[in-house]
Amino acid sequence: MSLAEQTAFADLTSLAEYGAQPEYASDAFEELASWVRDIAALTKPARIHWVDGSEGERQALLDDMVRSGTLIRLNDELRPNSYLARSDAGDVARLESRTFIASEREIDAGPTNNWAEPVAMRATLTELFDGSMAGRTMFVVPFSMGKIGGPISQLGVQITDSPYAVASIEIMTRVGEDVTELIADGAEWVRTVHSVGAPLEPGEDDVAWPSNDEKYIVHFPDTLEVFSYGSGYGGNAILAKKCYALRIASVLGRDQGWLAEHMLLIRVISPEGRAYHVAAAFPSACGKTNLAMLRPTIPGWSVETLGDDITWIRPGSDGRLYAINPEAGFFGVAPGTGESTNVTAVETLRENVIFTNVALTPDGDVWWEGLTEEVPEQLTDWQGQPWTPDSGRPAAHPNSRFTVAAAQAPSIAEDWEEAVPLDAILFGGRRATNVPLVAEAFDWAHGVFMGSTISSERTAAAEGTVGELRRDPFAMMPFCGYNMADYFGHWVRMGAELTNPPRIFQVNWFRKGDDGGFLWPGFGENSRVIEWIARRLDGSADAVETPIGRVPSEGALNLDGIEVSRDDLEALFAVDPDSWLAEADLTEEFYDSVGDRVPGALREQLQALRDRLQTAKRG
């Protein structure tokens, strides 16, 4: 019996036994149930299924998607319990141009967000969602960001008509009746609603990847709601991820005194057994997963994974910051993830994975550019077409993805769901020039200045021209749910309240030489930079001051076992005053574009940078 048959019911007031509405006698639960009924009355689904998170339910969901063509089951001997999804060619990435912040006041969204007047936007969404789930199952998915009941965790409920989204949410969050019980007991929760926008007429055949050319991803920060329409792609359909865990959570953090950040989280362990907890903010597809699963090449050092993409940070009573990874899984970019670049990720993906838009091998396994050095002679590409190395196009989409439970990673820390004290915060992007391999901030305010000035070359993870330089402060430009200038101010204020703040560093693995080649080998060798940072934290590594921050002194960076020429090393840390003065002008232009609410402390940092550069220029 299919999942649809198991969950069928005659009308919206008579739920089926399987996936039926739970029964809790509380006003809090009735508020949830009433909301579900209201969304059902608007979207008019054929059936409703309350997700309980059980393994039997999940397998029924996956089997049903295989039967419908949404998923292809991979060779169970080569990739056990794993699946491939192929999206519509027009639904392959986050849609920043269709992402809106519908705050009551336009100034609260700020100039870096697309603002929408909330009353008008609700009217637009009501029209779009009216009947949008006809002929489909409406799934009700209660989820927890962070371990269920954890002190930094937050709850939410997603309503969706996409079984692919449900299966992904079950990997990326904690789903189940325990969450519903917390809501019934009065815990606060965030409302999220998603529809692919493809209603079915009676008897109409479905397509493997339903979607709609018209797309909206709308956040209502004043009422803590998210509505997403038209896209089935992960970043637009897994609303617990960027929509909730960053855009809505950043608003919660602003109001409640904490931070929701686009950061990985790792534990670095020295040969002496000392643990350092490091969070790092990089734009999408710029090496977050590689660093999150780093295998140090330096003997005696190890790295444990805590999270690869999002970190929530709260101040503790001891004057330090404490952090968790609120997600339960990894939604990573496949291309470039390979045996030579991130063997830990490859090992993580051996079973229980949902792949999206990668290539299919003749024997029923997956492949993407960068997975292996040897390119297969024959594949089926991400659009289901025959492919050979002579095809002249990628076999996997550049933004193809894997979705897998974090607990599967060989590098995952045993206590990865617990809060850890932060020792260091890294900011980085993909810069071919100017930015050194590593630089330490002079203090918290200077570190916030570093974070606010991050820029990176655009990747395939978002709309736009690949290679174009884009400002991405704190790697949060697409993900901050309120005015970016106010967000800068929130960072400044957070540091002022800490007696033992983490140290802040800027890193850049991507600086190039005059010949266009990378100056630094990267990947596992990045552990040498992490070692220097750790030694700075314990006071055993030397640094010299430059106008932009402290960099390793001669001999302080451990280069044993690798070949980096003296010229390349000098180029990696070169600080040209004229180039940086030009960069300071661009930073001022960016600050002006953000608006007059940029904190005075950051403009003071900009002027101090210019003063140091002028002094260095005079010699």
- Determine the Cα–Cα distance for residues 397 and 468; give it in Å rounded to an integer: 19
> Residue 192 phi/psi, 5° resolution?
-135, 135
Q: Where are the beta strands (DSSP E) in 71-173?
A: 71-73, 83-85, 99-101, 114-115, 137-145, 154-160
d(CA 326, CA 317): 21
Q: How far apart are CA 35 and CA 193, in angstroms?
A: 11
Catalytic residue among 148, 286, 598, 613: 286
Going by C-alpha positions, the residue among 166, 325, 302 that lies closest to residue 246 is 325
Q: Are 599 and 488 in contact (CB under 8 A)?
A: yes
| Cα–Cα distance measured from residue 475 to residue 155, given in angstroms and rounded to the nearest whole number | 24
Euclidean distance between CA atoms 176 and 50, whole angstroms: 9
Query: CA-to-CA distance for 526 and 507, rounded, in angstroms?
Result: 10
Give how far the C-alpha of residue 173 lies from the chain's centroid of Cα atoms, to the nearest Å: 13
Distances from the Cα of 13 to the Cα of 38, 436, 480, 563, angstroms: 12, 62, 39, 70
In 10 A of CB 203, how many CB atoms?
6
Is there a catalytic annotation at residue 480?
no
The C-alpha atoms of residue 442 and residue 394 are separated, in whole angstroms, by: 44
How far apart (Å, rounded) are the C-alpha atoms in residues 91 and 102? 23
Q: Please name which of 284, 279, 260 lies closest in space to residue 268, comparing C-alpha atoms.
A: 279
Q: Which phi and psi angles does 149 have, rounded to 5°?
A: 85, 5
Q: Give me 123's structure tokens.
A: 């009217």
Exposed, middle or buried: residue 405 (CB in 10 Å: 0-12, 13-18, 19+)? middle
**Chain-centre distance of CA 119, in angstroms?**
29
Catalytic residues: 286
